[in-house]
Amino acid sequence: MKKKLVVLSGAGISAESGVPTFRDSNGLWEGHDVMEVASPEGWRKNRALVLEFYNQRRQNLEKVVPNQAHIILKELEKDFEVQIITQNVDNLHERAGSTHILHLHGQLTQARSSADENLIWDIGYQDINLGDTCPIGSQVRPNIVWFGEAVPAIVEASQYCKKADFLIVVGTSLQVYPAAGLLHDVPKNTPIFVIDPNTPTISQKNVYYFAEKASVGMQKVREKLLELV
């Protein structure tokens, strides 16, 4: 029986593929205050701006490809039962071939009704325009979990973490909650592999730090994992 490998991935893994992380030290996303483009308040204030912001992100996503870190995670499915829990809204894990992916913050290639959060559908890389309506007549919005909105997938993510035999944290500073709290759900003696150029300090035992970019760090983690099984 394969060991359960849980992966928490963040913006750093996709940055190597050319997906902008957007958020800078001033809390700005491409020059916009984060609350203008990633909050219910921003949506109510200027829907056209919000839609254009995500349309541009979707157009960029179509041009990029998965990198070696994404591919290694797919290849690890040969030896482990891999569950990816990602804070990213791109589809690079899917395009690399990983089969078990949980998106905490929604998906850029999906749209949803602004009246019914459960009415979600795939749109690929198409734009969402002002005036586009869902089957029940409300304005279509990106299927993105904005600041101030609930993260319903966190419950499922917690259950995966509670059963983890190994945990990889790649490309995330673990500063965004509730995702950062998932570390506390991992069993006490579970080996944790942290890959980030600026590795955060984790209080748990059995933590292996790799101050590397995602693709280099994942190669080293794969070697370490295969030594442990």
Residues designated as active site: 105
Edge-to-edge, what's the strand order for the sheet holding 166-170? 101-103, 80-86, 3-9, 166-170, 192-195, 207-210
Cis geometry, peptide bond prior to residue 178 (ω within 30 degrees of 0)? yes
Q: Are residues 82 and 129 in contact, defined by beta-carbon separation less than 8 angstroms?
A: no
C-alpha dihedral sign at 63, 12, 33, 175: positive
Which single residue is written with the structure tokens 């280099």? 216
Which tokens belong to 184? 């506390």
Nearest 10 degrees: CA dihedral of 196, 200, 205, 206? 10
Closest Cα to residue 82, out of 191, 173, 2?
2
Report the distance separating Cα 123 and Cα 170, nearest Å: 28
